[in-house]
């Protein structure tokens, strides 16, 4: 990973780039960070890099000096130019991951009242902010960007799982952490963490991550991939009278493989159409289970649900009275202690699902007709989307 910082205060970064995890990454050549001193490109005897703002106001970093510094920072190649600014978009984990995939990132540290807007319009690819606050300059946000990027470089963080468990990595908050002593001021570490049972510890951690996110940051659910946090896994079922086309059947099976849903259920109501799919239900794994009624699906769910009820998420082609917004439906899924079944009616009315709890959702707020595979792909990505 290669990052170049353009700053009028390069000494600001000396300790940062030689300390802790970032310092070790630099020393091991996992992270390369170059510093370009903006003052070296100043004008006149005083090496001036700023001037008074037109229309009154404070000092503004000048475009010609910034352009010279940026050209030196870029070198012979291209670079993604980032400018920390209170007017920028909020820095998120998704932005950090995008920047970490760039061959070269140049971070321009503003100061005083900022930098000439013409330079921003001409040269800057991305403006980011670390919060709704105003800092003295862009050096502290630049450190935040570099630190967050460095964690994604293989080998920088000693244990790869630690990165995957971080807050925001999958869109969710992290679980609580504890260390010795096991009892402190009358408060004990949860017993499951002392049990040595890795599976139970993993389940506990994911449940606590869900709990924290729902309580503290429910807004994160809009972009969270919840597949890894479901307590009982998920399956897909198609409810149709005539059966899907061969292309549609293959598309649904591919979606199930991609999202880890196992073999899909094809509930085909017409016996003659069902018989044409019977050959698909035997043999290799991944082919659909062809059934004649939803009751057969509930029978299977009861036998595999370990006594816990199955929550059915009915994804309809058009919104109906009582339909939930995707964000609310995701919250219900996370709160449910048991398996999920994503049910896609195709050309038939699902009616009221009598077997256990159910929620209704649609992929559009207005009445639209989408091909089954498209509707299923959109819905599964909104709920289970992989990063």
Residues annotated as part of the active site:
86, 113, 151, 166
Bridge partners of residue 137, in order along the sequence = 111
Measured at the alpha carbon of residue 142, what is the angle toward residues 139 and 147, in degrees to the nearest 5?
A: 130
Length of the chain: 387
C-alpha–C-alpha distance, residues 114 and 86, integer Å: 10
DSSP category for residue 227 = G
Residue 110 known to bind ligand: yes
Count Cα atoms within 13 angstroms, Cβ side, for 299.
Answer: 6
CB 144 within 8 A of CB 107: no
Specify the pairing of strand 183-184 against strand 187-188.
antiparallel
Tokens of 32: 């390369």
| 268: helix, strand or coil | strand
Runs of H (alpha helix) within the chain: 20-27, 63-74, 93-100, 117-123, 139-150, 160-164, 198-216, 246-258, 271-277, 294-304, 326-335, 372-384
CB 61 within 8 A of CB 115: yes
CA 232 to chain CA centroid, Å, is: 21
DSSP state of 172: S
Binding-site annotation: residue ranges: 110
Binding-site annotation: residue ranges for S-adenosyl-L-methionine: 110
């Amino acid at each position: 990973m290669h990052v170049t910082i353009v700053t009028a205060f390069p000494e600001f970064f000396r300790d940062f780039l030689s300390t802790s995890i970032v310092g070790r990454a630099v020393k091991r050549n996992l992270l390369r960070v170059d510093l370009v001193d903006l003052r070296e490109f100043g004008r006149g005897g005083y090496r001036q890099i700023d001037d008074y703002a037109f229309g009154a106001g404070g000092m503004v970093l000048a475009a010609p000096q910034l352009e010279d510094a940026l050209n030196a920072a870029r070198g012979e190649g291209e670079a993604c130019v980032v400018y920390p600014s209170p007017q920028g978009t909020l820095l998120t984990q998704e932005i950090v991951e995008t920047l970490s995939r760039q061959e070269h990132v140049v971070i321009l540290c503003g100061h005083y009242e900022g930098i000439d807007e013409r330079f921003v319009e001409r040269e800057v690819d991305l403006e980011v902010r670390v919060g709704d606050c105003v800092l003295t300059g862009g050096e502290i946000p630049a450190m935040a960007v570099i630190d967050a990027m460095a964690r994604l470089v293989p080998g920088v963080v000693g244990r790869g799982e630690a990165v995957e468990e971080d807050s925001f990595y999958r869109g969710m908050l992290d679980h609580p952490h504890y260390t010795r002593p096991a009892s402190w001021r009358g408060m004990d570490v949860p017993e499951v963490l002392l049990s040595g049972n890795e599976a139970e510890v993993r389940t506990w951690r994911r449940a606590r991550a869900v709990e924290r996110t729902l309580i503290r940051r429910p807004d994160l659910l809009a972009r969270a991939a919840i597949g890894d946090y479901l307590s009982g896994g998920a399956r897909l079922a198609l409810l149709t009278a005539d059966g899907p086309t061969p292309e549609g059947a293959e598309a649904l099976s591919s979606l199930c493989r991609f999202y880890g849903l196992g073999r899909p259920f094809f509930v085909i109501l017409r016996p003659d159409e069902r018989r044409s799919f019977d050959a698909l239900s035997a043999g290799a794994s991944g082919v659909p289970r062809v059934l004649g009624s939803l009751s057969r699906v509930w029978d299977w769910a009861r036998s595999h649900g370990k006594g816990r009820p199955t929550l059915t998420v009915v994804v309809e082609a058009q919104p109906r009275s009582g339909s939930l917004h995707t964000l609310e439906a995701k919250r219900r899924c996370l709160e449910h202690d048991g398996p999920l079944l994503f049910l896609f009616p195709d050309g038939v009315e699902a009616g009221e699902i009598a077997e256990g709890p159910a929620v209704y959702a649609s992929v559009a707020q207005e009445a639209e007709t989408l091909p089954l595979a498209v509707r299923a792909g959109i819905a599964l990505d909104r709920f289970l989307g992989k990063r």
